[in-house]
Amino acid sequence: MFTKLDDYKNKYKNITFERRDGILQMTFTTDGGPLKWSAMPDGPQHEAGAAFFDVGHDPENKIVILTSGGDRWCTDYDLDNYPDQEGVTPLWWDYLYRAERDLFTQLLDIPVPVIGIVNGPATYHAEIPLLSDVVLAADDAFFRDDSHVAVGVVAGDGIQVLWQMLVGINRARAMQYLHQSISVDDALVQGFVAEKHPREKLLARAYEVAENLIKTCSPVTLRNTRLTMTQYIKTRLFNEHAGSYALEGLAQVMRPQLQSAPDVEVWHSRHPNKGSIKIGHD
């Protein structure tokens, strides 16, 4: 099955597409500005996997550039439209799991090199640009996980695996329990960011890298190198994702028994109008 840009360029609410000379720019955005993450059916969590599938099956795409709108990757979560706690049922969690699995699977299955731009702070779903082959970051970027232990949620959606690969097992654990940030300079030393630039120069540098790859390498070389260089990441993520995501979901639906726990108080402070969780029935 092959796709065409015309098939998907206006298909998604939170993702825009632009292509020139085989280089596809894929921009995550909310209402034309900075990305606000959402797990709702029309949010980026559910659109991303399908969008990556469309991009990966378009033979006209030679290089993909991933970026986001505004002056950051993503630092905000749409809590207003998150389901109330009665809605956090096993069926809902299965829906989330499939969306998250598709996000990883289809992103890593894009058969051409991916250049990721982190155009500012990244505290939600930094794994999307960080799974790119070449990561470029703004000189004021930093990385932190605001969506798991910091708000009483198990780190189990795959981000824990990625951070272990990027910064090592001990630092990845400390990031969760101590809510630590990693500066862009530290990221350069760690090696998971290739270059830093002023924000206004990032996109031009990404196109420069992409154009140079197209000029100097055959399409087969680029595609096959993409395959060889992502295989280890796929193996780790796919082997560990299902079990860890199940543990994250279990902790969510068990909250009725944990109403006095500190993390539940944090959850309620972030969800002021939500009631108690009730385990639903499929």
Is 60 in contact with 214 (CB distance < 8 Å)? no
Determine the angle formed by the axes of helices 159-167 and 169-178, rounding to 10 degrees. 130
Does residue 127 carry a catalytic annotation?
yes
127, 195, 200, 265: the catalytic one is: 127
Helix (H), strand (E), coil (C) string for 35-48? EEECCCCCCHHHHH
Our measurement of the distance from residue 12's CA atom to the centroid of its chain's CA atoms, rounded to an integer in Å, reads 16
Is 270 in contact with 76 (CB distance < 8 Å)? no
Q: How far is CA 19 from CA 159, 173, 257, in A?
A: 29, 39, 51
One-letter amino acid of 2: F
**Termini Cα distance of the chain:** 33
Query: Please, where are the H alpha helices in the chain?
Result: 5-8, 44-56, 90-108, 127-130, 159-167, 169-178, 184-190, 199-216, 219-253, 262-270
- Active-site positions read 127
